[in-house]
Structure 1
Amino acid sequence: MAKRILLDVDTGIDDSLALIYLLASPDAEIVGIASSAGNVSAQQVAANNLAWLDVCKAPDIEVALGSARPLVIPLVTTEETHGPKGIGYANLPESARTLSTRTAADLWVDTVRAHPGAVTGLVTGPLTNLAIALYREPELPRLLDRLVVMGGAFNYAGNTTPTTEWNISVDPEAAKVVFDAFSGLPADRCPIVCSLDITETIEMLPAHVARLAAAAESVPVETISPDDARTVRSSASNPIVRHFSDAVRFYMEFHRDYDQGFLAHMHDPFAAAVALDPSLLVTRPATVDVELTGTLTRGMTVADLTGMWGRPPNAAIGVRTDPDVFFDRLIERVGRYARTLYPAETI
């Protein structure tokens, strides 16, 4: 049976591919999409989610609007990383689909109550919506089958401050609420955490985009080069390939501008793949907490791996993966999906 996935995203370039990956996966059933403020505003995130569902010819999937701001602090967004609309250079058609009348927090609560033990939660943005849902339904950790979180960094430099990963830094209070809520659960029910130290090994290169386009039978050959002018856009015949290529080009340019190479870290699609197949990630149990008061370390995720705090583990943090296995799976699934939705002869 397909896994029921409740997806909470701040779409976002890599969140976009996470959504496409799940839509392309026959072993996934997206039961709802919560739109979180993070990379861009919650309203823009919701618009991006609806637009991607159109491009992917997806069935009706409920898209709910999340909180407009974090629990305590003002919202900070990152258009310099993801573009003014959060999707790089992609220009998606405006969707005629409508947002849910439920809030994102209500979507979380209602969904897990309707399917106790049968929903996997996947959060690839800040944890605000889930934290609010936990206030409304404290039993939510026991009602979920599993939670997968993209966030944090353990013994690894942050990407927002020297110690802090972006999703956690947007709403550290929410992250602490979530990790605290999962304390005392059996090991196989603790959240799987795909942290920065793992996801920054998931480096998408121009060759991966070319392979994806070829798998989709898109023409002409999809080429993204560091030598291209910033005005260059994709001419791919396949709309999924074209829009994603334009999105990821922006992301690659951003990474190059910050001396990380002409590449794009695919944090969120990797977390989506782990939600469907946890065997992709080797994990170890840890007690995770979030620093809220440190002058230099606010938002830092700290993992007790040896029981020094005397508290039970509340997370399974990733320690090792094989990026090639992930990229082969992503290219095969998304390529086949794009090719099926948009056969070459009909484009």
Structure 2
Amino acid sequence: MPQSRQRLLLDVDTGIDDAVALLYLLATPGVSIEAITCTAGNVGAHQVAANNLALLELCARAGVEVAIGSEVPLEIPLVTTEETHGDQGIGYAVLPPPRCSVSSRNAVDVWLEAARCHPGQVTGIITGPLTNFALALRAEPELPMLLKGLVIMGGAFNYPGNTTPVAEWNMHVDPHAAREVFAAYEGLPYEKLPVICALETTERIECTPAHLEAVAAAACAGPEVVSPDQPEGTRSTSDNAVVACLSDALRFYMEFHRLHGQGYIAHLHDLFAAMVATGEAGITERTVTVDVETQSPLTIGQTVADVAGMWGRRPNARIVTGNDPPAVFELMVRRLSHLARMHG
């Protein structure tokens, strides 16, 4: 359990697994979400912002600032992935249009003000492309030292990509931003290096129908049946708004994974990254130097880790090498069922 208030700043492209991560953070004692900045990725940046505002209102947290940053990558055209996350980014889930508005501030200004006003206190969590953070680094090169720490969901190291044979989605959407971010951290103190949650560990976080049913049961929300035998597009009948949102979002994600031969599961990449940021996920890690391919049409977006020091460059990242999926889901069920009891 967090022992004191944790200031977190989220940069997201919400996204089904981003949404689950946000709900977990909203349910975690001691966590203060300073703001949420939005980047284009899973869906466009304005849809990302609408999703975040609606999820905050679902959980009675409408006061959190939601700001939009870059709507396109640094140098290449934007690609989005509605086939993975649905036209609105949260699968089959339908939430009321948010009453609150997007902030008038740009995401870069939000990052800089949070870091400057609370030096050494704010931990960043980035679960989308790194565009906003790269632009913030251009504006304030000292940003890594001003933050308490940074957790990034992205990359794949000695592991297949999920977008191309070698590239993970977030890195593929804006490889130039990712390369700038890793370069900015080279040689900084160990505790300031970004913690990287890449596919080789996040794809171990396989959410199943049983996990959803456990959330509903623990929330006393009645039985929630999610089954691969049900017709595609089946919707939740729960009268608990949080349970219905989770069920409808994750059912879409499970159908997508099944379509691509991975089984009726949902990889909750961003939930794991959020738990790493709060310190509630037990992990092992390795300090390395990371670079990102930006030129080759064949391998653009590939993240390469120099483990043996062949480049002669200083470390710039801490890659998560091991995790505990059953513990992640035990915590997810506990947190999200409590959230459902409070706000469902």
Query: What range is the shorter-chain TM-score in?
Result: over 0.9
- Aligned partner of 2:130 in structure 1 is 127
Partners in 2 of 1:78 and 1:27 — Cα distance?
Answer: 33
Matched, 1:177 2:180: yes
- Aligned partner of 1:244 in structure 2 is 246
Choose the corresponding residue for 2:338, options 328, 336, 339: 336
Partners in 1 of 2:10 and 2:120 — Cα distance?
Answer: 16
Tell me the alpha carbon deviations over residues 103-156 of structure 1, each in whole angstroms, 9 at most, x when there is no partner.
111111111011100000000000000000011111000001000000000000
Partners in 2 of 1:236 and 1:332 — Cα distance?
Answer: 18
Which aligned runs of 4 or more in structure 1 are off by greater than 6 angstroms?
Answer: none
CA-atom RMSD, angstroms? 0.9
Q: Please give the residue correspondences for 1:135-174 in structure 2 after superposition, counting only pairs within 5 Å.
A: 135-174=138-177
> Does structure 1 retain, via aligned residues, the 8 Å contact 2:242–2:339?
no
Matched, 1:218 2:221: yes
Q: Please give the residue correspondences for 1:305-324 in structure 2 after superposition, counting only pairs within 5 Å.
A: 305-324=307-326
- Aligned partner of 2:107 in structure 1 is 104
SS in 2 for 1:280: coil
- Aligned partner of 2:10 in structure 1 is 7
Deviation at 1:99, TM superposition (A): 1.0
Partners in 2 of 1:125 and 1:298 — Cα distance?
Answer: 17
Structure 2 letter corresponding to 1:309: W
Deviation at 1:57, TM superposition (A): 1.1
> Does structure 2 retain, via aligned residues, the 8 Å contact 1:150–1:268?
yes
Structure 1 letter corresponding to 2:141: P
Matched, 1:266 2:263: no
Matched, 1:30 2:33: yes
> Does structure 1 retain, via aligned residues, the 8 Å contact 2:275–2:281?
no
Partners in 2 of 1:280 and 1:38 — Cα distance?
Answer: 28
- Aligned partner of 1:253 in structure 2 is 255
Partners in 1 of 2:136 and 2:149 — Cα distance?
Answer: 15
Partners in 1 of 2:100 and 2:246 — Cα distance?
Answer: 20
SS in 2 for 1:262: coil
Deviation at 1:284, TM superposition (A): 0.5
Partners in 2 of 1:180 and 1:285 — Cα distance?
Answer: 15
User: How high is the sequence identity, in percent, across the aligned residues?
Assistant: 55
Partners in 2 of 1:341 and 1:45 — Cα distance?
Answer: 22
Partners in 2 of 1:35 and 1:280 — Cα distance?
Answer: 28
Pair 1:174–1:278, CA change in 2 (3 A):
farther
Partners in 2 of 1:245 and 1:56 — Cα distance?
Answer: 16
SS in 2 for 1:235: coil
Number of aligned residues: 341
- Aligned partner of 1:77 in structure 2 is 80
Deviation at 1:278, TM superposition (A): 6.4
SS in 1 for 2:166: coil
Partners in 1 of 2:239 and 2:284 — Cα distance?
Answer: 38
> Does structure 1 retain, via aligned residues, the 8 Å contact 2:16–2:85?
yes
Deviation at 1:39, TM superposition (A): 0.2
Structure 2 letter corresponding to 1:246: D
Deviation at 1:176, TM superposition (A): 0.6
Tell me the alpha carbon deviations over residues 41-83 of structure 1, each in whole angstroms, 9 at most, x when there is no partner.
0000000000001111114000001211000011000000000
Matched, 1:18 2:21: yes
SS in 2 for 1:64: strand
> Does structure 1 retain, via aligned residues, the 8 Å contact 2:13–2:40?
yes
Give 5+ residue unaligned stretches, structure 2. none
SS in 2 for 1:5: strand
> Taking structure 2 as the reference length, what is the TM-score of the superposition?
0.98
Matched, 1:114 2:117: yes
Give 5+ residue unaligned stretches, structure 1. 343-347
> Does structure 2 retain, via aligned residues, the 8 Å contact 1:27–1:276?
no
- Aligned partner of 1:345 in structure 2 is none
Deviation at 1:341, TM superposition (A): 2.4
Partners in 2 of 1:59 and 1:253 — Cα distance?
Answer: 31
> Taking structure 1 as the reference length, what is the TM-score of the superposition?
0.97
